Structure 1
Amino acid sequence: MTAGAALASALAAYQPLSATETTDVARLRSALAGDPWDRSTALHATASALIVHPPTQRVLLRWHARQRAWLQVGGHADPGETDPLEVALREGREETGLTDLAPWPDATIAHVAIVPVPAAPHEPAHEHADVRYVLATGDPDAARPEKPGAELRWLPVAEAWSLTTEPNVRETLDRVHRLFV
């Protein structure tokens, strides 16, 4: 199995919902020819999730100091990881301490967005082809930041939408809102 096989499988039935997303998915699919998770490439895959508590229709945002923005949880695949849903689940558990996370309302991709990442002392500017899921918890009070400065906030979708400045995150929030109603 190739490094991109699980990602290709997840993308096979996915239908983008906008012209921008259609372009982003096409760029991600083109990265499948190599290792889409290879962090040394200028465009590489990441996986993330918007964590929700369906009974209260709240979402969880995390402060990301490097991006200086309130975003969903997520990140890079660890060595040997190739399944985007598994990456999103692991990142969600690590960044929130929530141990009961499960795909909601199902295990399909919720959104694909290519996101620019600014240069840092240890790496040049690059892009993340972020594959996003929705994960639910039944125990929102158990959420704990993974480290100081990585604050977590449970918010109604409208408040989360106002708090984030990222248009692609707002699009993900819009999609989750439609799942709630």
Structure 2
Amino acid sequence: MATADHAVTHVLTGYRPKTTAECVDLERVLGVVEAGGAPWERSTPLHITASALIVHPDSGRVLLRWHQRHQSWLLVGGHGDPGEYDPLAIALREGQEETGLPDLAPWPDADVRHLVIVPVPASSREPAHEHADVRYVLATNVPEAVRPENPDAPLRWLTPDEARMAITEANVLDTLSRVESLLAG
């Protein structure tokens, strides 16, 4: 098994799905990894991505990012760069790039909080495909340091109730619910 496959297999075999749908998604992702191929390559119809819901534990707020392509408020995250195979490292890098927050760290621990396969519609640059998104919670102590990476990707600090009203994707609402229980205590 290649190093890339070993890293994600290690992360995912320790994860305990919370729903039947998530069990199916986990089995599907592990099947792709075990079959070989390139589970991190954007050219494969189903490939692994990593994302996070960023929180400010002291205020109980969460950070959402506007995604122009999807026309919705989502988590921060994305694809691994070439040679990047650790989902948590990818979520941390993407989180810092997309928010400018200098102190992001796993919170309250480095556990995977959600695994979901998300359909991605075709665009002028790529065909329709799926992301096997490995999701974490990252925290900051300096929410005022937030800076969007570009004007088309604004960021918003929201209470969980406000976030629930802004989010239109069911899978992101599911992630929010899992994180909300952590923020509560």
Q: Shorter chain as normaliser: what TM range?
A: over 0.9
The letter for the 1-side match of 2:10 is: S
TM-score of the superposed pair, with normalisation by structure 2: 0.96
Give 3-state SS (helix, strand or coil) of 2:3's partner.
Answer: coil
The residue aligned with 1:82 is 85
C-alpha RMSD of the superposition = 0.8
1:70 maps onto 2:73 in alignment: yes
Give 3-state SS (helix, strand or coil) of 1:80's partner.
Answer: coil
Spell out structure 1 runs of 4+ moving beyond 4 A.
none
1:141 maps onto 2:144 in alignment: yes
Equivalent of 2:42, from 39, 42, 59? 39
The residue aligned with 1:156 is 159
The letter for the 1-side match of 2:5 is: G
Give 3-state SS (helix, strand or coil) of 1:4's partner.
Answer: helix
Q: What residue ranges of structure 2 are gaps of 5+ in the alignment?
A: none
CA distance in 1 between counterparts of 2:135 and 2:77 reads 8
Q: What residue ranges of structure 1 are gaps of 5+ in the alignment?
A: none
1:180 maps onto 2:183 in alignment: yes
The residue aligned with 1:3 is 4
Residue by residue over 1:145-176, the C-alpha shift from the partner in whole angstroms, topping out at 9 and shown as x without a partner, is 00111000000011101101000000000000
Percent identity, please. 60
Aligned residues: 181
Equivalent of 1:92, from 85, 92, 95? 95
The residue aligned with 2:30 is 29
1:12 maps onto 2:13 in alignment: yes
Give 3-state SS (helix, strand or coil) of 1:3's partner.
Answer: helix
The residue aligned with 1:113 is 116
